[in-house]
Every structure is written in C-alpha cells, then in structure tokens.
Amino acid sequence: DTEVTQTPKHLVMGMTNKKSLKCEQHMGHRAMYWYKQKAKKPPELMFVYSYEKLSINESVPSRFSPECPNSSLLNLHLHALQPEDSALYLCASSQEAGTANYGYTFGSGTRLTVV
Amino acid sequence: AQSVTQLGSHVSVSEGALVLLRCNYSSSVPPYLFWYVQYPNQGLQLLLKYTSAATLVKGINGFEAEFKKSETSFHLTKPSAHMSDAAEYFCAVSPLGYSTLTFGKGTMLLVSP
C-alpha cells in the first residue's frame, strides 16, 4: 500500500457544525502533515506530527484541532469554521521525521466548503 | 526562512516542444529541493527530488531537473511536451534537518495541440 487515503473527498458544513477530516496511511511513515490550499495558491503547512506527537503548529486558529490516534491515522476536527476556511485540505506523510529526504506522499485531499 | 521562487505563473507550449519551468531557491546552504505536479482537484505527486547526490535528477513521466549551486536554481525540463502534462507544477524546498516543505507559488503548464 503506497497511498495516503483522505475521507471524505467533499464536505459542506455550516458555521455552527462540527465535522472531522480523516487521513490514513499504511506505509509505516513516521511523520504526517496537514496542509491547506486555497484556490490558485500553493499548499500552506498547518500541522506536523512526528511519531504521533504534534511537533509543529503553524499558528492555526483553535477552530482547527488535529489528532493522531495512532501511527497510521490523522484526523482534523473542525468546529465553528468561517467561510474563508473553505479550501482543499491535504494530508501528507513522509518516511522519516526530522527530514524531508524522501519527499512526501500526498492524499487527494478533502474539498471543504463552509456555508 | 528558506523559500523558492517560480518564474512565470503560466507557461504555454505546443505539444512536442521543450518544457522549461524555472525555480530558484534562497539559501546559502543548498537545501533539499523537490518538484511536484498537481492535476485539477487532486493531491500533489512527487516528480523528482534533489537531496545532495547527483546534480542532474531524473524523475517520472520524462521530467528531469538540474541543481546549479552557482545559479541557486533547480529548473524542471522535459524534451517533448504531451497534452497530459498540462497541470500545475510546484517547486518546494526543505532545509536540511527539517521535515517541512515550503512551496513556491506554482506554475500552470498549458499544452496546445
């Protein structure tokens, strides 16, 4: 298995809703990432998990809450989002923590629309 | 913080023509460098990477890139464009000792028949 699987592929939520994005990899990768990508823009780093521990939080608002229940799974919990949070949310994993030597494997993303 | 600059937000080529997408990095110490491709409504796929080994790097789908320290560049090339190469291309940098990637603004490659 050489894939990163993200679910759901599309999500529409209201500003008062609570939802979660899921990301799964079975490659034994030790680092996992959440990126946010607005239309016509490059991906921007949100969170980094190394060995299931949060190692980087790029000053992301608290309405985004990451969770890493085990080495294969990464969640992003969403609560009280704003319309400007609408974007493509990408999950990625890399073989080693502490180096990008091997590059990242990206999932196909969750297209989030906040109404 | 290290960054990469991609010259040209759009590049147009004819099918069969040479593809050249430009990327320059800002660092006194050569970092790790990557090229990714993104098709519409999809994630990013790694094309190739430079990690301090050979300066001429060959990737998937016939792409290659040459690391030039003197020019702080890592331009992506392909001898002959295919219609299927039409996509957004991102250059990315990672400082040594870190696992994070920082992406350039991207270059949209348009291929005409």
User: According to the model, what pLDDT value does residue B36 have?
Assistant: 97
Q: E strands of chain A, at which residues?
A: 4-7, 10-13, 18-25, 31-37, 44-50, 53-57, 64-70, 73-79, 87-94, 104-106, 110-114
The residue of chain B nearest to residue A104, with distances taken between CA atoms, is B46
The residue of chain A nearest to residue B106, with distances taken between CA atoms, is A42
Q: Is the confidence at residue A99, as pLDDT, over 90?
A: no
Q: For residue range A8-42, what is the model confidence (pLDDT) as tens digits?
A: 999 999 999 999 999 999 999 999 999 999 999 99
8 Å CB contact between A94 and A104? yes
Please state the rounded mean pLDDT for residues A104-110: 95
User: According to the model, what pLDDT value does residue B8 have?
Assistant: 92
Q: Is the confidence at residue A43, as pLDDT, over 90?
A: yes
Q: What backbone torsions phi and psi does residue A22 show, to the nearest 5 degrees?
A: -120, 145
Q: Are strands A73-79 and A87-94 parallel, antiparallel or unpaired?
A: unpaired
Are residues A106 and B99, on separate chains, in Cβ contact within 8 Å?
no
Chain A closest-CA separation from residue B16 CA (Å)? 27
**Mean per-residue pLDDT over chain B, rounded:** 93
Q: For residues A40-74, b (16+ Cβ closer than 10 Å) or e, as one string?
A: eebbbbbbbbbebeeebeeebeeebebebeebbeb
User: According to the model, what pLDDT value does residue A101 have?
Assistant: 81
